[in-house]
Structures are given as structure tokens and as C-alpha cells.
Copies of this chain bind each other. A is one copy, B any other.
Amino acid sequence: MGRRSDHSRAELEALILETGQNLMEEVGFAHFSAREVAKRIGYTVGTVMRVFGSVDALVVAINSRTFTMWARWLEECLQGAQDGQRIRALVKGYFDFASQRRNLWSAIYEHRVPDRVGIPEHLAEQRSQLMNIVTHEIASVLPNERKDEAERLSRSLVATVHGHCSFALGGSFALMGEADPFDLAMRRVAEILRANGANVD
């Protein structure tokens, strides 16, 4: 069992977060539990509650961590992408992350944050990393006179890709007989970008 000297407060926090994220990926949001996290790190439920205050707060923290993970993933996708294919790499990265970390990805959207919990500033910032990466790429393909629209357009593009990804993983597309959701998403992104004056091939 966990002893006071085994981990500092910060270590414990990190341990719970990492283990919690692993559990989330394994069992999904619906079967996630603080008790199981505690069991896995060799502590008891009380300790988890003391560190994070509530299960909801823990889930918020885990999901924020997932955003960071996702952002890093996208950055790697961008590094391996040749010029003129960077937007494509981003969309592909979005789809691939969601597919390969299915439960982590859905937990972000399945968890309804109670008002009393909220999202602390430092975690909200983690979540914004992803948008920053996208906005940066979008800005770079927009003409100078429209770069100020990059932020709003990026939100919309991410929502577009999200919608396609959501239908793909949720089975809606399959039910409709759609065989290539990624192709669909990519077409839309290209069309939208062109319509907004971007030069994409």
C-alpha cells in the first residue's frame, strides 16, 4: 500500500493522472472509476479524492492531458509532412489519433463538466494548444489580408473534421454506407480553404 514517503504530492498527482488516463483508454468513460485508479496505483479511494477533490475534476484533468497528448501527436504528424501536405497531415492526424485512442478521444466529448467543477485556467490552456497548432497552419495558407480570419476559420475547420470523425467512429457513416470518411473530410477542408482564399492544391 502507498506510503506517505513513496511519492510527493506532485508525483502522486502525476501518477494518478497517468494511471487514470490508461484506465480511461482501457475501459472508456462509462466504466471509468476512481476506485479502480486507486487500486492500480496501490492507494485507496480516499487518497485519490483528496488529491483531485472529485471524480469529475479528475476526469477534467485526464481529458486535458489527452489534449496535450493530441497536440504533440499533431506536431509529430506535421514534422513528417512535406510542404503542401501539411493541412492533410493535420486532418489525417486528427483521424488517426481518434481511431487509435478511441476511448480517450470520446471521453473528451462524453464528459459533461458539472458547473460546480469547471475547467481551471491551467487546464484550459492545455486544451488550447491543439487549436493553436491548427490556427498556425491555417494562417500560413491564407493570404495576408485574411490572416486575421484564421482563428475563427480554424475553429470551424476543426468542427468540420470533428463531425466527420465522429460519424466515422460512431458508426453513423457505416450505417449510411460510407466507405471513406477521411476522403470526405479532406475534400470539405480543401473546399472551405479555397473558398476562403487559401492557396491549396
A172 to chain B: which residues have CB within 8 Å?
159
Query: What separation, in Å, do the CA atoms of A119 and B156 have in the docked complex?
Result: 32
Residue of B109, B156, B184 touching A166 (CB-CB under 8 A):
B109
Query: How close is A147's CB to chain B, nearest CB, in angstroms?
Result: 18
Contact A162 B171 (CB under 8 A): no
CB distance from A121 to the nearest CB of B (A): 12
Task: Across the interface, name the chain B residue whose C-beta is closest to A191.
Answer: B195
A192 proximity list for chain B (CB < 8 A): 188, 191-192, 195
How far, in whole Å, are A194 and B160 apart by their CA atoms in the complex? 17
Q: Which A149-182 residues have C-beta < 8 A from chain B?
A: 152, 155-156, 158-164, 166-167, 170-173, 175-176, 178, 181
Interface size on A, residues (CB 8 A): 40
Is A139's CB within 8 Å of the partner chain B? no
CB distance from A162 to the nearest CB of B (A): 4
| A187 interface contact, C-beta 8 A | yes
Cross-chain contact B173 with A164 (CB below 8 angstroms): no
CA separation between A156 and B188, bound complex, in Å? Answer: 8
Instruction: Please measure, in the bound complex, the distance between the C-alpha atom of A156 and the C-alpha atom of B192, giving whole angstroms.
Output: 13
Q: Interface 1/0s, chain A 113-144, versus B by CB < 8 A?
A: 10000010000100110010000000000000
Q: A30-B112, A191-B192, A191-B195 are in contact. List 13 more A-B contacts (CB 8 A).
A: A110-B110, A113-B171, A152-B178, A155-B178, A156-B187, A159-B164, A159-B184, A161-B163, A162-B163, A163-B164, A188-B188, A192-B195, A195-B195
